Amino acid sequence: MTATAPPVGEPDRTQPRNTPASPAAARLLRFLPAAVAALCGVLLYVSFPPRTLWWLALPAFAGLGWALRGRGWKAGLGLGYLFGLGFLLPLLVWTGVEVGPGPWLALAAIEAVFVALVGAGVAVVSRLPGWPLWAAALWTAGEAARARVPFEGFPWGKIAFGQADGLFLPLAAVGGTPVLGFAVVLCGFGLHEAVRAAVRARRTGRIRRSAAAAALLSVAVPVLGALAARPLVNAEAEDGTATVAVIQGNVPRAGLDFNAQRRAVLDYHARETERLAAEVEAGKADRPDFVLWPENSSDIDPFANADARAVIDRAARAIGAPISVGGVVERDGKLLNEQILWDPAKGPVDTYDKRQIQPFGEYLPLRSLIGAINDEWTSMVSQDFSRGTEPGVFTMAGTEVGLVTCYEAAFDWAVRSEVTDGAQLISVPSNNATFDRSEMTYQQLAMSRVRAVEHSRTVTVPVTSGVSAIIMPDGRITQKTGMFVADSLVQEVPLRSSQTPATRLGVAPEIVLVLVAAGGLGWAVAAGVRGRRAGGV
């Protein structure tokens, strides 16, 4: 009788297995893949900021590959979910800093479903030749879905965002976060396959050349691609330079009630700007061409309150430069998270309304259902913010400054749209006071570093309570503040207008990788159907 391949979705029982020495050993072996999957998820979390252990992502995916390879889709689903929980539970713990563990646990549990589906798919394609390629593409497809649904998506935790200090970072300039993340995952799965091939060769004395070649290519191609992409990473000025000031005024208190004191946050930012103006007049600091304030730096609507307008006017005249002010504005019955371009002579001359608003933070989906569960949550978001519709690029002292407000930095399209609209520099005004001293600030800062390389732009990060920073187009942080202190950063930075391949290609690399994933999955399913038919003959 001729042996046939096992149907896709069923474990491979054609390979000899060692007989366990005892029932206890059998139970241990049964639970070992689950333990490995969960621990590798934790290992992936450890690779993320504020730590600089980016390379731990490789053994994390190598271990996941060991746990999934050759298993049925149901086992892959469960193992993928454990991996997702091991990764996302610690990564997203900051979401429960002020609202308790319920929303944090719910978010991690829901987001881990996407990882579970990827795990099922990886198990299915793991019997194909060159399976690391199909598996890595499936991971990218999972991230693409997670960035879009539900509620406009939640891209936090994309593999690319853990690679700001890594070897693979230049690939962000090639194809954005999808290509950077794909390369890391491919290399991790390829590392597992290379070790597996070496162990088999040592045990049998024979080398399966095709499998060994696929394993080596899976490791070598991402590494060589990253090295080849390094010339795309450039911090030289193309359109001259600008001297920028980033203001961090601090807040009266951390937490959800950070802006409970009327006009306090605005006063803090105006005071720090006036302090900087005094240093400029004394020759202790360079005179900035323009000034960037954080999101929510005006905790009172300056269009509706003359006292707030006077405070901003006074700060702008003191520094003698235009200021981008973050305010909460009510206009035509709509609540807007708005950046306001404030001229020292003319006052407000332009605005940008945040387009990617945060579910459960700036608007409440399923309000009636959530109110029935816990009416305290509905009171936290008593009125939904409205979305902006247009990109925000301010002309500030002759420089085109693209605005990407806080949460928007996690979304590929939101950052790219500012660059394609002419931004020579990107500013990411943020307000992280709600999340106290958690890792959230450092995770978001790493996103901005990846965006700097992706689009070859200087990125400034003005934050109400820190960490504020200035990032060069090559991803280096040249200045940063502490947390919960008043401070300012002043620096001459390069301006650039050329577009990287990632900027020009936009969503195309992601679409290609999703199609590769679909092709691999279709091939594996078709092969499984043929195997079942042959087995029934």
The answer to whether 430 and 246 have CB atoms below 8 angstroms apart is: no
**Left if phi > 0, otherwise alpha if psi is -120 to 50, otherwise beta: which for 466?**
left
> Cβ atoms within 10 A of the Cβ of 152, count?
16
**Residue 425 burial (10 A CB sphere; 0-12, 13-18, 19+):** buried
Write the DSSP symbol of residue 171: G
Write the DSSP symbol of residue 63: H
Q: Which of 174, 280, 269, 184 is nearest to 223 (CA)?
A: 184
The answer to whether 428 and 450 have CB atoms below 8 angstroms apart is: no
Write the DSSP symbol of residue 228: H
Q: Give the CA dihedral 341, 344, 347, 353, nearest 10 degrees.
A: 10
- 238 in catalytic set: no
Which pair of tokens denotes residue 352? 């940008």
Question: Which of 187, 338, 354, 408 is the catalytic position?
Answer: 354
The answer to whether 143 and 181 have CB atoms below 8 angstroms apart is: yes
- 40 in catalytic set: no
How is the chain split among helix, strand and coil, in percent rounded to 5?
Answer: 50, 15, 35
Instruction: Determine how β-strand 393-396 pairs with β-strand 425-427.
Output: unpaired
Q: Which of 32, 108, 23 is nearest to 71 (CA)?
A: 32
Q: Which of 403, 296, 304, 274 is nearest to 350 (CA)?
A: 403
Q: Which of 492, 489, 487 is nearest to 472 (CA)?
A: 492
- 354 in catalytic set: yes
Question: Which of 406, 439, 454, 510 is the catalytic position?
Answer: 406
Which amino acid, residue 287?
R
312/294 Cα distance (integer angstroms): 13
Instruction: Determine how β-strand 399-403 pairs with β-strand 477-480.
Output: unpaired
Q: Which of 494, 434, 430 is nearest to 467 (CA)?
A: 430
φ/ψ of residue 355, rounded to 5: -95, -40
Edge-to-edge order in the sheet of strand 425-427: 393-396, 399-403, 425-427, 458-461, 469-471, 477-480
The answer to whether 404 and 412 have CB atoms below 8 angstroms apart is: no
Q: Which neighbouring-strand residues pair with 460?
A: 427, 470
Q: What angle do CA 467, 458, 320 make, to 5 degrees?
A: 80
Question: Which of 295, 338, 400, 418 is the catalytic position?
Answer: 295
Catalytic center residues: 295, 354, 406
